[in-house]
Structure 1
Amino acid sequence: MPPPGVCLNILEVRNKENGFGSISKPEKFFNQDYQQLTEYCITRGLRYIDNRFPPDKNSIGYGILSPSDMNNVTWLRPAKIVPNPSFIVQGISRFDFGQGILGNCWFLASLGALTFQTDIFKQVVPVEQTFDKNYCGLFHFRFWRFGQWVDVVIDDKLPTVNGRLIFARAKYQNEFWPALLEKAYAKVCGSYTDMNAGSPAEALMDFTGGVHMHIKLSDPGLDLWNLMARAGHSGSLMSCGTHQGTPANNILPNGIVQGHAYTVTGVKELMSQGKPAKLVRLWNPWGKGEWKGDWSDRSPLWKTVSAEDHEMYLSVYDNGEFWMTLEDFCKFYVDLDICCLCPNFLDGQSSCHWKKTSYEGKWVSGITAGGCINNKDSFWTNPQYRFKIDHGYSETVGEKNMLLSLMQKPHKRNRHLFQNLHIGFAVFEAHKGKFPASFFNSHAPVAQTKTYMNAREVMEFFMLKPAEYLVVPSTFSVNKTGSFLLTIMFKGEAHGQYASHILPLLLINGVVFSIQDIFFRTDVSRTGTLSLTELRNALKTAGMVVSDEMLNLMALRYGATSGHLTLESFISLILRFNCMRSESSNTMCCLS
């Protein structure tokens, strides 16, 4: 058998083509169907209990509670905590919730940003849920996970001590959407403990499925103020983090918490004493604890602005939200994460749009895990993808017309058990034709990641001239097995034509061919499928000779009801067959 997952999974591909995994047709997490479970419980008068994330210590996880504290935990439904539970009380706001004993400020800071975008919030949190009509102790939420949306079902039993929630809690005691959403995300991560510590970028991406941009505030390398202003205006979600301290969550004399995530809730330029003051508004997911320096709630500098600005922007409450200057922001915070559905905020041009396409792949030790470009003998064996930038794309100096994102997919059920590999990618200009193994030894990348990082995602914006390119995603070290999601975004004028075909490559007798080229060359009937005779010729072109019996089995396994193979089926067949052959002959011959 070939290494697991090397080849395309036909069912997954067809499901995606039919819209499965989209926000309108999310995949069912653990194959649990919310509608079916609801109907089952209602017709039988049952209160749902989730056997895939049961109300016990395994779902809490180990390490955040002592054994004695764990013994004091009681799982209660909201109606056992308060007499009149509600899903949502008086709308949605970042002030609705606060952090519990779990170190998941990164998640709650991202959630605070999500509350500003009502449409996106409703995608994640189905707001029609209630404790009244058709209540059966069952709720569901949606998250974007590595290329597809998933619908996550939970029961509403929540961990409490002495009748009080121990994790995220709401401002109103009878409001439960924050605690239930946190539980659903804990289920996705593996346990509540698996949510302990993380990057806001993770949750921002899982809330939106959008574009993520990470900025080091010590060296932003761009016009940070205008970028943040445009991001805020475009409805982007923003969060940030402070420098690590000892001990963790140490509160500095100025009120800033070290090693803590915050939400960026506003960006505004005010006139103060005749001069512009560039201010950033931040929110602490603790729901309290604020900055004490310039432009804090009680700063005398607020007396220097107009009465209108004073009334509109100053709120003197210990609710965790405060203003500070951009200069202080860059001084006391280490990084900024911006997440949006479309990166138009980069240049503020509404006349342009971005087109996205994503592809899944694998690095398999000994076959397609060639390591970084320093490994001259094996780098070329990494998965390779070709794309084209047409002349219709903007070539304004300083603009970015392309985004590349590489995200690694975990193979572990629990978030903390998965160790991120150091990943990156290189982009080469590549003319039409074949790519010999020596190509990468004689051609330097025209663009690449600045460094290989052991992060869930690495991404870069580029300005590339019109040409054909080859992108090679890789791990830093050789023979590191892992799955990845490669996303390519192009920017062009609205009427532009886009070429973003990804061509799996195949090595035959030392020469790299496009499987797509073989397919169309042997499809002499021009039907867009391969008949049995055409399939035999295609296999011969690919250097594969099979018996009649094997040919029939291939048509039965990979063909449609007619037995004819589509392009996707042919690619799956060739890659699987090639990897089986490479395993038996102990040679590298699978490139995608």
Structure 2
Amino acid sequence: MEKATGGSQSIDRSLDTPEKFDNQDYQQLKQSCLSKRMRYIDDKFPPDTRSIGDGILKSSDMNKVVWVRPHKIVPNPSFVVDGITRFDFGQGIVGNCWFLASIGAVTLQEPILAQIIPKDQTFDEDYCGLFHFRFWRFGRWVDVVIDDKLPTIKGRLIFVHSKDPEEFWPALLEKAYAKVCGSYSDMNAGTPVEALVDFTGGVHVCVELSSPPPNLWELMSHARQSQSLMACAIPPGATSENTVLPNGLVNGHAYAVTGVKEIKIRGQLVKLVRLWNPWGKGEWKGDWSDKSRFWQMVSPQDRATCLDVIDDGEFWMTLEDFCKFYSDLNICCLCPDFLDGSSTCHWKTSFYEGRWVAGSTAGGCLNNSDSFWKNPQYRVKIDKLLDKCAVNQGENNMLVSLMQKPNKRNRRQVKNLYIGFSIFAVPDAGVEKFPASFFITNRPVAQTNKYVNAREVMKLVMLMPGEYLIVPSTYKPDETASFLLTIVSKAETHTK
């Protein structure tokens, strides 16, 4: 067990007892609506312009918006038609490709999908216009209630829409996440890892593809074999975002990674990555694209298994082209055992809530030698790896993540601080809190590469058995904010 100084505490992240978002109880609201024979209208996320938000619709178009229930759009709506897949939907007018790419990745993992979308939701028996979904938000699962009134213009959905007009799970899921974010416009722009973490309650590993690790292919292959989710993004570049390039890729756009496969061509093995565009259309036009000549040079079996010449947004490309055109790869998982390609040693995870308080526990970065010690301090003892886990003794054995918690409901109003953390080797001594002198004479054995104004920073480290101190901080001193620290360790960890 890890313990921490500085007022932090361990937290429970159980999916079995999710918090009621906005204090709305799904079962109570449903029973109330059924007993009164009325259809639910959510007063916490009302069907009006406030829930759409500013900046995504012109005022002239906003006046055309009509909120209607699915029964008013089609005669026989269904929550799900023939199962849930990434090919069910396409992106609407809000720039939430980061969110939809993450949904595309989630549809490949049924257990994770079942966490987000509770079963037995229909438009038939006991229907009262009420639905609910679950997301992991800053350390806790929350159950989010919505009504099924959806914004339309001229009878058509203006945000995410199903390719089958009778299927509504994508639009309702998007509405629930919009409620969590504050409005639909609060979903505009983001990174896939944010949604991946909110869908799983897991941890993530970020790989910079401009300088990929030598074992990138092994990492992706092991991640694909486990219940890990993968998504990536193309940088905006010199042109504006969402510009379709001559090669078919989209600037400033997020994609889901849906597969990896080695294919033999002319006696040579080629490493291929499969990607999916959340627009539901628009594909890569280079080597190994749907109409590439290379598909005629592989075995009929591989061609039948992999090639699908339909503009559904999904395509193959080589690992080299993947690293060339995409900026980063995010792998999100409940357990990072894919890092060493084995599930024989289960990594252990602990979560802690903490807070920097100006004038008290907000000491700033190490440049502030007189105040850095005031930051919350997490003391961790790492035991020697068990024999079954010690095969890769020199590999990374701990993942540390620092996530700052928002102080505002609306996502776009949140101003992230520059955050990071440092890890120090410490003597085996009963010190309650290390003073300023310790940090003047001791340098970190590991730390985040830089302080960034992101929701979350993380780092994989290799720490030998011993005692360590993890110190999360903001870059500047005297900045007040709450945070969530996640420690994932391959070895047994505890504190005296």
Query: Fold match, TM over 0.5?
Result: yes
Give the one of 275, 291, 300 matched to 2:293: 300
- Whichever residue aligns with residue 69 of structure 2, its letter is R
Alignment root-mean-square deviation, CA? 1.4
In the TM superposition, residue 8 of structure 1 has moved relative to its aligned partner by 6.6
In the TM superposition, residue 392 of structure 1 has moved relative to its aligned partner by 3.4
Distance 2:334 2:456 in 1: 16
Distance 1:380 1:204 in 2: 33
Instruction: Give the conservation status (yes or no) of the 8 Å contact 2:235–2:252.
Output: yes
- Whichever residue aligns with residue 288 of structure 2, its letter is W
In the TM superposition, residue 355 of structure 1 has moved relative to its aligned partner by 0.6
Distance 1:99 1:366 in 2: 46
Question: 2:151 is paired with a residue of what secondary structure?
Answer: strand
Q: Which has the higher helix share?
A: 1
Instruction: Give the conservation status (yes or no) of the 8 Å contact 2:210–2:327.
Output: yes
Does residue 340 of structure 1 match 2:333?
Answer: yes
Does residue 406 of structure 1 match 2:402?
Answer: yes
In the TM superposition, residue 233 of structure 1 has moved relative to its aligned partner by 1.0
Instruction: Give the conservation status (yes or no) of the 8 Å contact 2:212–2:323.
Output: no
Q: How does 1:209-248 map to 2 (within 5 A)?
A: 209-245=201-237, 246-248=239-241
Does residue 256 of structure 1 match 2:249?
Answer: yes
Give the one of 425, 437, 446 matched to 2:421: 425
Instruction: Give the conservation status (yes or no) of the 8 Å contact 1:361–1:383.
Output: yes
- Whichever residue aligns with residue 259 of structure 1, its letter is G
Distance 1:211 1:269 in 2: 27
Distance 2:313 2:430 in 1: 59
Distance 2:273 2:487 in 1: 31
Q: How does 1:310-389 map to 2 (within 5 A)?
A: 310-389=303-382
Alignment correspondent of 2:494:
500
In the TM superposition, residue 360 of structure 1 has moved relative to its aligned partner by 0.2
Does residue 95 of structure 1 match 2:98?
Answer: no
Task: Report sequence identity in percent.
Answer: 64
Does residue 63 of structure 1 match 2:55?
Answer: yes
Deviations 1:510-553, CA, capped at 9 Å, x for gaps: xxxxxxxxxxxxxxxxxxxxxxxxxxxxxxxxxxxxxxxxxxxx
Instruction: Give the conservation status (yes or no) of the 8 Å contact 1:212–1:340.
Output: yes
Instruction: Give the conservation status (yes or no) of the 8 Å contact 2:7–2:376.
Output: no
In the TM superposition, residue 299 of structure 1 has moved relative to its aligned partner by 0.5
Q: How does 1:185-196 map to 2 (within 5 A)?
A: 185-196=177-188
Distance 1:409 1:50 in 2: 26
Question: 1:228 is paired with a residue of what secondary structure?
Answer: helix
- Whichever residue aligns with residue 145 of structure 2, its letter is V
Does residue 176 of structure 1 match 2:145?
Answer: no
Structure 2 gaps of 5+ residues are: 1-5
Distance change >3 Å, CA 219–CA 398, structure 1 → 2: farther
Instruction: Give the conservation status (yes or no) of the 8 Å contact 2:8–2:352.
Output: no
Alignment correspondent of 2:102:
110
In the TM superposition, residue 298 of structure 1 has moved relative to its aligned partner by 0.6
Alignment correspondent of 2:447:
448
Distance 1:397 1:148 in 2: 33
Alignment correspondent of 1:575:
none
Alignment correspondent of 1:479:
478
Deviations 1:421-467, CA, capped at 9 Å, x for gaps: 11110111112232333111111111111111111111111110110
Question: 2:38 is paired with a residue of what secondary structure?
Answer: coil
Does residue 78 of structure 1 match 2:78?
Answer: no
Alignment correspondent of 2:384:
391
Distance 2:393 2:286 in 1: 39
In the TM superposition, residue 230 of structure 1 has moved relative to its aligned partner by 0.8
Distance change >3 Å, CA 385–CA 7, structure 1 → 2: closer
Instruction: Give the conservation status (yes or no) of the 8 Å contact 2:69–2:149.
Output: yes
Distance 1:317 1:159 in 2: 30
In the TM superposition, residue 480 of structure 1 has moved relative to its aligned partner by 1.0
* Count of aligned pairs between the two proteins: 484
Structure 1 gaps of 5+ residues are: 1-5, 493-497, 504-592
Question: 1:269 is paired with a residue of what secondary structure?
Answer: strand
Instruction: Give the conservation status (yes or no) of the 8 Å contact 1:107–1:203.
Output: yes
Distance 2:411 2:419 in 1: 18
Distance 2:89 2:116 in 1: 17
Question: 1:175 is paired with a residue of what secondary structure?
Answer: coil
Alignment correspondent of 2:3:
none
- Whichever residue aligns with residue 238 of structure 1, its letter is M
Alignment correspondent of 1:416:
412
Distance 1:256 1:8 in 2: 45
Distance 2:34 2:435 in 1: 63
- Whichever residue aligns with residue 459 of structure 1, its letter is M
Distance change >3 Å, CA 499–CA 344, structure 1 → 2: closer
Distance 2:79 2:339 in 1: 37
In the TM superposition, residue 489 of structure 1 has moved relative to its aligned partner by 1.1
Distance 1:473 1:247 in 2: 36
Does residue 266 of structure 1 match 2:233?
Answer: no
Instruction: Give the conservation status (yes or no) of the 8 Å contact 1:423–1:458.
Output: yes
In the TM superposition, residue 499 of structure 1 has moved relative to its aligned partner by 3.3
Question: 1:352 is paired with a residue of what secondary structure?
Answer: coil
Instruction: Give the conservation status (yes or no) of the 8 Å contact 1:357–1:500.
Output: no
Instruction: Give the conservation status (yes or no) of the 8 Å contact 2:56–2:94.
Output: yes
In the TM superposition, residue 223 of structure 1 has moved relative to its aligned partner by 1.2
Alignment correspondent of 2:155:
163
Which one scores higher on RCO, CA 8 angstroms, separation ≥ 6? 2
- Whichever residue aligns with residue 426 of structure 1, its letter is S
Instruction: Give the conservation status (yes or no) of the 8 Å contact 1:88–1:127.
Output: no
Q: How does 1:548-587 map to 2 (within 5 A)?
A: none
In the TM superposition, residue 342 of structure 1 has moved relative to its aligned partner by 0.7
Q: TM-score, normalised by structure 1?
A: 0.80
Alignment correspondent of 1:583:
none
Distance 2:175 2:161 in 1: 11
Distance change >3 Å, CA 392–CA 332, structure 1 → 2: closer
- Whichever residue aligns with residue 478 of structure 1, its letter is P
